[in-house]
Structure 1
Amino acid sequence: MEAAEFDYIVVGAGSAGCVVANRLSADPSVRVCLVEAGGSDNSLRVKVPAGILSLYGNPNYDYCFVGVPQPELNNRRIPVNRGKALGGSSSINSMVYIRGAAEDYDEWARLGCAGWAYRDVLPVFRKLERNLLGQDPRYHGSDGELLVDSPRDPNELSSMFVKAGKNAGLPANADFNAESQFGLGIYNVTQDRGQRFSSFSAFMRPVLHRRNLTLLSECEVIDLAVAQGRATGLRVQHDGQQKTLSASREIVLSAGAINSPKILMASGIGPAAELRQIGIAPLLDLPGVGKNLQDHVDGMITVRSRSTRTLGLSIANLPRMAAAPFQYFARRKGMLTTNYVEAGGFAKTRHANGLPDIQFHFVPGYRSHRGRLIEYGHGYAIHTCVLRPKSVGEIKLSRDGSRRDVLIDHRFFTHEDDAMVLVEGIKIARRIFASPEFDAVRGKEMLPGKDVRGDDEILAYLRAEALTVYHPVGTCKMGTDDMAVVDPATLKVRGVDGLRVADASVMPKLIGGNTNAPSMMIGQKVSEMILGSGRSGGK
């Protein structure tokens, strides 16, 4: 078995991990290793925004997790797409730049996470951001590495959607990351001149020349090495053989809300009784590992339209499709620039308690009523998700003895409030689509269908069709209660020295919005914690 020694090892080259590896390796006196299970992101499928359709469910870029049967969703198993490549999920996501509401972070602070209130995290978001739109400097940064722009060539239906919001009492909102999220607008995106700009693009690719930085891709973590209460290294599978990577200072798990708890449990760190049941000797009884899983449950309305003003695969659209590659590579314009969810926004149902409780992702193209990624024809669709779900699930290791397979149980709709909110959200989405703005492209509602009108009928539809928008969080939550896994002040794993977690799994509650940017913020925060501890210098 080969061995290699470093000062710091960061597990996961995703949204948070790339930030951590960048910041730690800025000190040339320390040796930093970034470990990623996935491979290269150097593909047009990743770089060209419209290539996203070829990434979901593709095992070259996606872990292709599938959850356990959900009793409240007709025992369906829900796909859980997570990025498996340099950049992690920021290399397969829709590139939407959303931070969540200020109140989300203030709630974290009220839950015992001092130092994580909005006033604490806003400067961190600003530090990371290079806003190309000239947006309000009170909320946006201009000197960071992460490029934030608007879509290069949004489809005309995206603007139509924003205008149609008036029909549902939703104003236009030009900046969801400023004073208020409420309303509809064109989303900001993490792109560089119409090309995907992942966390790897922003924080790692520019510093790969650093001699003290080692990047190991296609390197799967088996478990942690822990000696006398201290994490000392990793066992990994790399280049067809098992290796040991040693960390003289610290290991930072940034493998995401699925894989970070998986690695802990595979190492004997987690709920002791559950680990014994699957044949793992508990090293540390930490009952919160894998618990507190939260995600945005989502319902869709999809409409078929004859209008070729929408994105679509059709004979009538062949000239536009044929021109798309030339438009993209010559001017970064045309169909290939779309991230498919160019517009969206935030609304309040009658159940809302002050803040918006639903989010929209509008698609100016036909979303298959049969679950296909690509469907012939034209149309448009709107995804509606529950922003702050009350249903809480968990992640466990399976009983197959591999220590690698996970059981993902969202427990969607186990709290009836989530179902009630999503039913109301579908009604609001329909009011938007009923606006005269859509008259010129109006077509047949395929899902839920015009006959699905009452609350019970809409709920039955959601039980049959609802999915997720892939924002899992919370499975290694920070806090001060008995179920907390990490200390909010340090993100250190309770009871283990030399080990921290820094990714969406540390969120105590799911934020109201997309989780890519908040994960980067968490990566920056833990970097400052480590650097501030005075341990980043020489040995």
Structure 2
Amino acid sequence: MSSYDYIIVGAGSAGCVLANRLSEDPNNSVLLLETGGSDKSIFIQMPTALSIPMNTDKYAWQFHSEPEPYLDNREMHCPRGKVLGGSSSINGMVYVRGHAEDFEEWEACGAKGWGYQKCLPYFKRAESWYLGGDTHRGGSGPLGVNNGNEMQNPLYRAFIKAGEQAGYPITNDYNAAQQEGFGPMHMTVKGGKRCSAARAYLDPVKDRDNLTILTHVRVHKILMDGKRAVGVSYRKDGNMHEARTDNNVILSAGSIGSPQLLQHSGIGDAEHLKSVGIECVHNLPGVGENLQDHLEFYFQYRCKKPITINGKLDWFSKGIIGAKWFFFKKGLGTTNHFESCAFIRSKAGVKWPDMQYHFMPAAIRYDGKSAFDGHGFQVHVGHNKPKSRGFVKVQSADPEQAPKIQFNYLKAQEDIEGFRACVRLTREIIDQSAFDEYRDSEIQPGEEVKTDEEIDAFVRKAVESAYHPSCTCKMGEDEMAVVDSQTRVRGLEGLHVVDSSIFPTIPNGNLNGPTIMVAEKAADMILGNPPLPEEDVPVIEDSNWESQQRSNQL
């Protein structure tokens, strides 16, 4: 048994940030516990190989949902990082902060002090934007962010031009003043390599004398003394161990792992815990509830010209790409291939974007397989502000049994209508003249899919998770809130949760950026540091949002 000032459970996007920031003071002893192991695999470090670690048991928890009742009872894949860097080591590396209004929404939900002007300084502290820092962007933070290969493939710019022709605005930086519009996409890549939270935050400090990193560890339980967390018990090499703290236990195990560990420690809904044979230590009914995720589907077209990545899927071409990356860190190996994107509103009356596009000059699945012979391109599209809510619940007192996960995707009628808009608006965009020299027949959904009923059936069959589970230990003040605005578990002492599970609502965009920001801000709170000064910066929105769905004059 050992004692530390801070015990962090989970070396993912948030845990790596906390390990770095909490150990900056040499007087603080910090223990970081991670179930997975090293992140040094070439398949993790090479951006173009992103589909491999996500689908590898060694690097990811291969969770699946229960049959989803509103998706034709499909069981949905929900991989989560099980490696240093967590999901930032297996994700698509897309960097999106979210819209400013997403964080105002958090504040309105009871997360006091988490409005956009208060979060922006922490986004900037985290980031090293490859074009340099400015009013909105950070220039010297640990996390490298760029645009991959600078949209060398002409299809990227055709997508942006098509959006403009369809009446949408252009945005040169959706992470700055204006999210809404079409423009280049950003990724967490630095020097041609994946810039995960482990690479950005952990690698530079892993040799600090006051930081202990234990891998291949399975935490079973938070140790409690009354209403105070005093340590954790964990299994390593087949033996059980304990680590103690006089200060704080911090859960950063993610939106599946954190509520799972709370429940196994007797913290959660008392009736559910009793039903699975766990003694309730602290009744907190919101633990595991409020589960939210992004769904998306691929809109795919055949391409008239042989310029797509589908022509690079043979072993010889892959070998050339791999060699160029291995020796020079250049070429197609350095990108996730999502180099242009868009954020738009699905209808008039929506104040800020609720739809997101990732454009790729290939027609290919996440597992790296092509669905057809020949050249094609695709755009991933999703309705990003879902109303449907699910849950994560432990199924027994066995801490190593996977929890029950139910998303309830498309339960809400608003979500169904949002995906109808995704189909119709996307077709309109791709039908613009910018694509005339490239666009051939529609592969998916297929030109025959037109009516509401046909679109709904297609979506239920084809939609996939964007791998953004969140909000299961939400921050706020109501009876279903799990943590307060200081990230402390409500009603307990010495216990924090810091990861995407504490989001009150899911932002419009990928979650790695906001998760890192949350950890940066929480680190100051836990250390008792004054918050960074808030920054009053311009935010550009459509002043006519109540009456129009799009405007190219923002």
Q: TM-score, normalised by structure 2?
A: 0.91
CA distance in 1, matches of 2:11, 2:317: 37
1:531 is aligned to 527
Quote the offset at 1:466 in angstroms.
Answer: 1.0
| Alignment pair present for 1:500 and 2:496 | yes
With over 3 angstroms needed to count, the CA separation of the structure-2 counterparts of 1:121 and 1:416, relative to structure 1, is: same
1:374 to 369, 374, 377: 369
1:265-298 deviations in whole A, cap 9, x for unaligned?
0111000101111111111110000001111121
Aligned-pair identity (%)? 39
One of 182, 194, 217 as aligned partner of 1:196: 194
Q: Which residue of 2 aligns with 1:537?
A: none
Aligned twin of 2:416: 419
- The alpha-carbon deviation at position 404 of structure 1 amounts to 3.2
The answer (yes or no) to whether the contact 1:152–1:332 under 8 Å persists in 2 is no
Among 131, 138, 143, the alignment partner of 1:141 is: 138
Matching residue of 1:484: 481
Report if the CA contact (8 A) 2:264-2:397 is conserved: no
Task: Check if 1:344 corresponds to 2:341.
Answer: yes
Q: Please report how far the alpha carbon of residue 180 of structure 1 lies from its aligned counterpart in structure 2 after TM superposition.
A: 1.5
C-alpha deviation, 1:351, in angstroms:
5.3
Q: C-alpha root-mean-square deviation of aligned residues, in Å?
A: 1.9
Residue range with higher mean Cα deviation, 126-135 or 194-203: 126-135
- What are the superposed Cα offsets for residues 333-377 of structure 1, whole Å, 9 maximum, x if unpaired? 322223032221101122551211100111211124xx8531254
Q: Secondary structure at the match of 2:221?
A: strand
Give the superposition deviation at 1:441: 2.8
Where does residue 274 of structure 2 map in the other structure? 276
1:217 is matched with: 215
Q: Which residue is equivalent to 2:326?
A: 329
Q: 1: CA distance between counterparts of 2:196 and 2:390?
A: 28
SS class of match (1:312): helix
SS in 2 for 1:274: helix
Deviation at 1:9, TM superposition (A): 0.5
Could you tell me whether the CA contact under 8 Å between 1:98 and 1:513 is conserved in 2? yes
Alpha-carbon displacement from aligned partner over 1:391-441 (angstroms, at most 9, x marks no partner): 111111124745531111111111110110111012111122212222333
Whether 2:33 is the aligned partner of 1:29: answer no
Alpha-carbon distance, 1:300 to partner: 2.1
1:358–1:422: 8 Å Cα contact kept in structure 2?
no
Please state if 1:409 is matched with 2:406: yes
From 59, 62, 78, the equivalent of 1:61 is 59
The answer to whether structure 1 residue 514 and structure 2 residue 540 are counterparts is no
Tell me if the contact between 1:70 and 1:411 (Cα under 8 Å) persists in the aligned partners.
Answer: yes
TM-score when normalising by structure 1: 0.94
Sort the Cα spacing of 1:491 and 1:400 in 2 relative to 1 into closer, same or farther, 3 A: closer
Q: Is the 8 A contact 1:48 1:195 kept in 2?
A: yes
Q: Distance in 1 between matches of 2:475 and 2:347?
A: 31
Q: State the alpha-carbon separation in 2 of the partners of residues 163 and 436 from structure 1.
A: 9
Q: Distance in 2 between matches of 1:207 and 1:410?
A: 37
The partner residue of 2:147 within 135, 145, 150 is 150
Aligned to 2:464: 467
The answer on whether the counterparts of 2:55 and 2:367 sit within 8 Å (CA) in structure 1 is: no
Question: Closer, same or farther in 2 for the Cα pair 1:59/1:345, shift >3 Å?
Answer: same
1:515-538 CA distance string (max 9 Å, x none): 10110111111110111179xxxx
Is the Cα–Cα contact under 8 Å of residues 37 and 215 in structure 2 kept in the other structure? Answer: yes
Instruction: State the secondary structure of the residue aligned to 1:300.
Output: strand
What is the CA–CA distance in structure 2 between the aligned matches of 1:81 and 1:363, rounded to whole Å? 22
State the match for 2:550 in structure 1.
none
Deviations 1:453-502 (A, max 9, x none): 122211110011111111111100111100010111x2110122110000
- Report matched runs for 1:273-312 at 5 Å: 273-305=271-303, 307-312=305-310
1:95 to 86, 93, 96: 93
Task: Say whether the 8 Å CA contact 1:167–1:431 is kept in structure 2.
Answer: no
Partners in 2 of 1:5 and 1:339 — Cα distance? Answer: 42
1:238 matched residue in structure 2: 236
Of residues 281-290 and 137-146 in structure 1, the stretch that sits farther from structure 2 once superposed is 137-146
Q: Can you give the 5+ residue segments of structure 2 that lack an aligned partner in the other structure?
A: 531-554
Aligned amino acid, residue 417 of structure 1:
E
Q: For 1:281, what is the secondary structure of its paired residue?
A: coil
Aligned residue in 2 for 1:128: 126
Deviation string, structure 1 residues 54-110 (Cα, Å, up to 9, x no partner): 122211111111111111100001111211110011111111111111111111112
1:207 aligns with 2:205: yes
Q: Secondary structure at the match of 2:244?
A: strand
CA distance in 2, matches of 1:339, 1:395: 30
Matching residue of 1:10: 8
Does structure 1 residue 394 correspond to structure 2 residue 407?
A: no
Aligned to 2:174: 176
Structure 1 residue 320: Cα displacement:
4.5
Alignment-mate amino acid for residue 386 of structure 1: H
Shift of 1:4: 2.2
In the alignment, which of 447, 454, 475 is matched to residue 450 of structure 1? 447
Q: How many residues align?
A: 527
In 1, Cα distance between equivalents of 2:23 and 2:260:
26
Cα 1:234/1:355, change in 2 over 3 Å: same
The superposition leaves residues 295-316 of structure 1 with CA deviations (integer Å, 9 ceiling, x where unpaired) of: 112122122336431102568x
Partner Cα distance (2:204, 2:65) in 1? 36
Q: What are the ranges of 5 or more consecutive residues in structure 1 without an aligned counterpart?
A: 535-539
Q: Which residue of 2 aligns with 1:436?
A: 433
Secondary structure in 1 matching 2:39: coil
Aligned to 1:116, which of 108, 114, 117? 114
Q: What is the CA distance between 1:322 and its match in structure 2?
A: 4.4
- Write the distance in 1 (CA, Å) between the matches of 2:5 and 2:194: 32
CA distance in 2, matches of 1:138, 1:523: 21
C-alpha contact (below 8 Å) 2:304/2:437 kept by paired residues: no
Shift of 1:37: 1.0
The question of whether the paired residues in 1 share the 8 Å contact of 2:233 and 2:241 is answered with: yes
Q: Is the 8 A contact 2:150 2:339 kept in 1?
A: no
Q: 1:331 & 1:308 partners in 2: Cα distance?
A: 26
Q: Match of 1:75?
A: 73
Instruction: Summarize deviations over 1:137-178 as a string: whole Å, max 9, x none.
Output: 111111211112221354332222212212332232210111
| Distance in 2 separating the partners of 1:373 and 1:50 | 10
Bigger Cα displacement from structure 2, 461-470 vs 262-271: 461-470
